[in-house]
């Protein structure tokens, strides 16, 4: 591996745990919190995919709020306006995965370039990563917002390469989301799938990640 290797870390589902919102949800929906968090996340991703395909862009916070509204209707939880506002604010304070910061530090110590690369809005990402204490460990943050689309649109992977002056052959996408890994593979990148759940299934497309790891702390030695 070249010393000028660039690592593009997905944020939601890789560095930051979107299902961590369940802790706050419990105050509003009780035992429905885990199911609510999962449906919210699934619908959020669906909305991103739909809008990328339709070329009808709305930013990440809008898609997240609309997915929240869907989940509220689906589970009939009847959230008040102030509860919705609180949950959206807490989305900027989601917990980091415990292996994230150490992985970034190890890669930086070895001389590699490390970026956040996300579907999130740039302002939200800066707030989220600052709250998690990871902002100072990154060389930068690249958001798809600048090209008005979402992963896995090929345009967003090219946008990352252009923004960071990186080459496909020396760039690694690190993600816990199989759709992101497949998108980066289609763009010619190296890929690392973070399989934190032993029961997780990678899409059976006859494509495999370059490496599969169970913990981000394994990354530096696996690539």
| Buried b / exposed e along 57-89 (16+ C-beta atoms within 10 A) | bebbeebbbebbebbbeeeebebeeebeeebee
> Which structural domain, as residue segments, surrounds residue 33?
18-90
pTM tops 0.75, yes or no: yes
State the chain's mean pLDDT as an integer: 96
Q: Write out pLDDT tens, residues 58-90.
A: 999 999 999 999 999 999 999 999 999 999 999
Residues 103 and 167 in one domain: yes
Whether 1 is in a domain gets the answer no
Residues 12 and 44 in one domain: no
Q: pLDDT value at position 76? A: 98
Q: Write out pLDDT tens, residues 183-216.
A: 999 999 999 999 999 999 999 999 999 999 999 9
The domain that holds 67 is classified in CATH as 1.10.150.240
Strand ranges, E, within 61-213: 113-118, 140-143, 171-175, 190-194, 211-213
Residues 106 and 216 in one domain: yes
Task: Enumerate residues 6+ apart whose C-beta is below 8 A from 195.
Answer: 176, 202, 212, 213, 214
Residues 113 and 206 in one domain: yes
Residues linked to residue 142 through DSSP beta bridges, in sequence order: 117
In angstroms, the CA 12 to CA 49 distance is 15
Q: Write out pLDDT tens, residues 151-163.
A: 999 999 999 999 9
C-alpha distances in Å from residue 107, one per residue of 115, 139, 163, 215: 11, 11, 20, 14
Q: Using pLDDT thresholds of 50, 70 and 90, give the confidence band for residue 3.
A: low
Residues 128 and 215 in one domain: yes
Q: Is 10 a catalytic residue?
A: yes
Residues 50 and 134 in one domain: no
Residues 54 and 157 in one domain: no
Radius of gyration of the chain (CA): 17
Residues 122 and 180 in one domain: yes
Residues 102 and 196 in one domain: yes
Whether 64 is in a domain gets the answer yes
From 59, 90, 121, give the residue that closes a domain: 90
From 44, 70, 90, give the residue that closes a domain: 90
Set 10, 17, 72, 99: catalytic member: 10
DSSP string, 8-41: EE-TBTTTB-GGGGHHHHHHHHGGGHHHHHHHHH
The domain that holds 141 is classified in CATH as 3.40.50.1000
Q: State the Cα torsion 178-179-182-188 to the nearest 10°.
A: -120
Whether 110 is in a domain gets the answer yes
DSSP 120: S
């Amino acid at each position: 591996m070249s010393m000028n290797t660039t690592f593009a870390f997905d944020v939601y589902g890789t560095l930051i745990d979107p299902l961590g919102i369940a802790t706050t949800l419990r105050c509003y929906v009780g035992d429905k919190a885990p199911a609510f968090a999962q449906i919210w996340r699934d619908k959020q991703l669906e909305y991103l995919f739909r809008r990328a395909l339709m070329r009808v862009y709305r930013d990440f916070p809008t898609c997240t709020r609309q997915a929240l509204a869907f989940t509220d209707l689906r589970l009939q939880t009847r959230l008040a306006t102030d509860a919705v506002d609180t949950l959206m604010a807490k989305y900027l304070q989601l917990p980091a995965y415990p292996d994230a910061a150490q992985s970034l530090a190890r890669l930086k110590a070895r001389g590699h370039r490390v970026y956040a690369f996300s579907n999130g809005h740039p302002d939200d990402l800066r707030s989220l990563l600052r709250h998690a204490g990871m902002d100072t460990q990154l060389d930068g943050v690249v958001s798809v917002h600048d090209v008005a689309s979402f992963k896995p649109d090929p345009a967003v992977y090219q946008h990352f390469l252009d923004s960071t002056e990186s080459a496909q052959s020396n760039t690694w996408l690190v993600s816990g989301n199989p759709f992101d890994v497949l998108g980066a593979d289609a763009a010619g990148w190296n890929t690392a799938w973070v399989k934190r759940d032993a029961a997780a299934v990678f899409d059976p497309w006859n494509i495999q990640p370059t490496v599969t790891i169970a913990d981000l702390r394994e990354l530096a030695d696996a690539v």
